[in-house]
Amino acid sequence: MRIHDKQYIDGSWVEPVGGGSVDVIDAATEEVMARVALGDARDADRAVTAAARALEGWAATPVDERARCLARLAEGLAPRAEEIAAVIGREVGSPANIAKAVQAGLPIAVASSYPALLREFRFEERIGNSLVVKEPVGVVGAVTPWNYPLHQAIAKVVPALAAGCSVVLKPSEIAPSSAFILAEVVDAIGLPRGVFNLVCGTGEVVGEAIARHPLVDMVSFTGSTAAGRRVSELAAAGVKRVSLELGGKSASIVLDDADLRKAVSRTVGNCFLNNGQTCNALTRLLVTRRQHDEAAGLAAEAAASFIMGDDGKAKLGPLVSARQRDRVRGCIRAGMAEGARLVTGGPEAPEHLPRGYYVMPTVFADVKPEMTIAQEEIFGPVLCILPYDTEDDAVRIANGTVYGLAGAVWSADPDRAQRIARRLRAGQVDINGGRFNLLAPFGGYKQSGHGRELGRYGLDEFLEVKSLQM
């Protein structure tokens, strides 16, 4: 069992003032796999104060030197990829292939992308008699979730450091182990003291202390929409910049000329990625009314291939916690009570898996847009199939939630698909299964948040713009 009894503050591993601790649970076995010391507002203050002291020196560090530091960070993470995949797989329940490729591989790839991007970035431009310069926003509080713990940390910490900001990272106490690995790598590469700080604690205590701290210039938060509202409220008192990546209820629109089998299969795969614990998961499948029943059968067939377990061959693992499992099962029961047709799965525990926070892969058909399961983020392996009559109807249904994080459109005519994609109020839309691009901006419309992560747009988030009139 791993014991993380210190926080990383001002370039040193120090005991937290808080004094409490939390057990980290293996999602498959329900056994304690780690214990983490919790900080409190005093620890947050120590970290923020250290970051504020370090800011001026780091901001003045030449771009090439910052790029070299980030390259060393990525190089330090790479040899620990298997360890990262193992601990996140146990904490979050990610199947082995997802843990290796996504939980470990993606954040290392994102970190590796920034040195070159930073060297090419234009920090200055002339506009008439003005020199417009981009400067670091300042001290950044990065508050990250449990579902993709290292990826979300890297997507904030690395571009913030690239911009010349100093950082205080607060990971989720549910899945914190990879953040400690990140801090160990940062310590080994020798970043200046205080440039990166790690404080583990609850959102209500440490997260809120960071959001309201007068020396924090920006809060970058990923998590639930409700928690994002709270962060915004606290940050507003200091008129801080806030970047939010929140919930989603993304729609996959299958047009009548699309390859139905491929579109349904790929949508199910996306919906069940990381056991459904993905903010931009395609959880609503929209198909023409005449194809609805056929699509339901294809979805059930695809869902049946998602074998549950943690043996390395499974495609569907447990959810992160008993609380999350119970919440998802409650959503399934709500769907049944509201009249949606259960095609496969359901709220019962799988008989062959007596331990672990498992939820059966579930598909609902005949779902109406106003139903709870079609409006609220479930965050589990649950797909809703909704029929539509016209293209305008499909767009209306797709846009008919408070969210706007992602979406997908399928058609034999790419131009037709793109016309529909442009009408969706979402930050990222896949056309005919377009692959994830780690250099493209990621973020949402409406209550899915504001701000963008990844690539040069992610770097821009951490920069202020100044105009020098000559």
Active site residues: 245, 279
Cα–Cα distance measured from residue 453 to residue 153, given in angstroms and rounded to the nearest whole number? 11
In terms of DSSP H, where are the helices of 281-404? 292-304, 322-337, 372-375, 391-398
Q: Is 4 left (phi over 0), alpha (psi -120 to 50) or beta?
A: beta
Cα–Cα distance measured from residue 353 to residue 350, given in angstroms and rounded to the nearest whole number? 6
Q: Is 346 left (phi over 0), alpha (psi -120 to 50) or beta?
A: left
- Closest C-alpha among 420, 386, 397, 104 to residue 267: 386
Which residues, other chains included, contact 152 with Cβ-Cβ below 8 Å and sequence gap of 6+? Answer: 144, 145, 222
Q: ∠345-98-103 over CA atoms, to 5°?
A: 125
What are 443's two structure tokens?
A: 């973020």
Cα–Cα distance measured from residue 410 to residue 289, given in angstroms and rounded to the nearest whole number? 16
Helix axes of 177-189 and 63-77: crossing angle, nearest 10 degrees: 130
Cβ-count burial 410-426 (b if 16+ within 10 Å, e if not)? bbeeeebbeebbebbbb
